[in-house]
Amino acid sequence: ATLPYDDQNIFAKILRGEIPANKVYEDDHALAFHDINPQAPQHILVIPKGPYVSWDDFAARAGDAEIAGFVRAVGHVARAAGMVATGYRLLANIGQDAHQEVPHLHVHIFAGRPLGPMLA
């Protein structure tokens, strides 16, 4: 079962401006910023502005406009960063076995080098 949303999580604090982030894009539905510990030359996180614990929670509870806005924002960030020509990887960790560390939905965007085969 999904935990209730904890508004003290680090990405909620970034959304409220309580802690800084190196932002790359923002609109009504989404915020994108550089990961603090990048795993590729380009490693961006995209988060919805609403209080969703994970992709699972978002898919279950978010409105259609929020979902569409978020999906479009992820695409926009990758396109605007010039990732489409060379390719990029999207990743969302959901829950314990996936080692999700921050309980606010985030999609990782990795690019800037050959990323190799998908992790197990």
Residues that bind ligand 5GP (CB under 6 A): 10, 21, 33-37, 93, 99-102
Residue 108 falls in the annotated catalytic set: no
Find the shortest distance in angstroms from Cβ 41 to ligand 5GP: 15
- If you ran DSSP here, which 8-state letter would residue 17 be given? T
Find the shortest distance in angstroms from Cβ 117 to ligand 5GP: 19
Find the shortest distance in angstroms from Cβ 80 to ligand 5GP: 18
Cβ proximity to ligand 5GP, 28 vs 37, nearer residue? 37
**Burial tier of 45 (Cβ tally within 10 Å: 0-12, 13-18, 19+):** buried
Cβ proximity to ligand 5GP, 8 vs 37, nearer residue? 37
User: How many beta carbons lie within 10 A of that of residue 38, not counting itself?
Assistant: 12
Give the list of residues 6+ apart from residue 83 with CB closer than 8 angstroms, or none: 42, 109, 111, 112
Rounded CA separation 57/31 (Å): 18
Choosing from 43, 99, 104, 106, which is the catalytic residue? 106
Rounded CA separation 7/103 (Å): 9
Cβ proximity to ligand 5GP, 76 vs 108, nearer residue? 108
Question: Which residues are catalytically annotated?
Answer: 106
